[in-house]
Homo-oligomer: A and B are copies of this chain.
Amino acid sequence: MTAQRHDRDSVTATALRLLDRVGLPDLSMRRLATELEVQPSALYWHFPSKQVLLAAVADRILASVPEPTAGADLTAVASAIRDALLAYRDGAEVVMSTYAMRLGARRAQDTLQAVLGDADPALADAVFEFVLGHSTLLQQRMHAQSVGAVADAEADPTADLDRVFHAGIRAFAAVSADRPPA
């Protein structure tokens, strides 16, 4: 009768679903607790703080990024990372805010490193930072637009944003291609 018990994984999964439904500003410990039919304090048995909980959520968001393999190309990997970030509402911001204690982010960066071969390791980090910045900004704009608080009234900014993404990736791809042949 007294609502089922939870563990780290189930709490994280529920948090991710709630994030996608209500967005990061409304993802509070109290609301998550309500969702789990539990008192807010119960969450602190599973996680020491909200920030650590969010880090676990960030890991899940990046879980769909493929393992490091030498076969793929930069555009594919960068797109996979972007898709993972955009798959959940405010996903990029969550990953960004917990990036310092990166767990899942490490894997994404390793995959980028692998695809860049023997290019400067700093380049893989730069690509990741670009994708993360781009995705965060994109979701920021999506949210502002839904609230109706945008300065310029572009009809469909999505197409432009896709061009920006590919312009960035093309730049990184071009530089990385310089090395192997040389």
Q: Which of A's residues lie within 8 Å of B, judged by CB? A: 96-97, 99-103, 120, 122-123, 125-127, 129-134, 136-137, 140-141, 143-145, 149-151, 160, 163-168, 170-172, 174-175, 178
Q: Most chain-B Cβ atoms within 10 A of its Cβ — which of A123, A144, A167?
A: A167
Interface of A is mostly: helix
**A100 and B136 in contact, given A126-B130, A164-B129, A175-B174 (Cβ under 8 angstroms):** no
Q: Most chain-B Cβ atoms within 10 A of its Cβ — which of A100, A149, A178?
A: A100
Q: Is the CB of A100 within 8 A of B143?
A: yes
**A101 and B151 in contact, given A125-B164, A172-B171 (Cβ under 8 angstroms):** yes
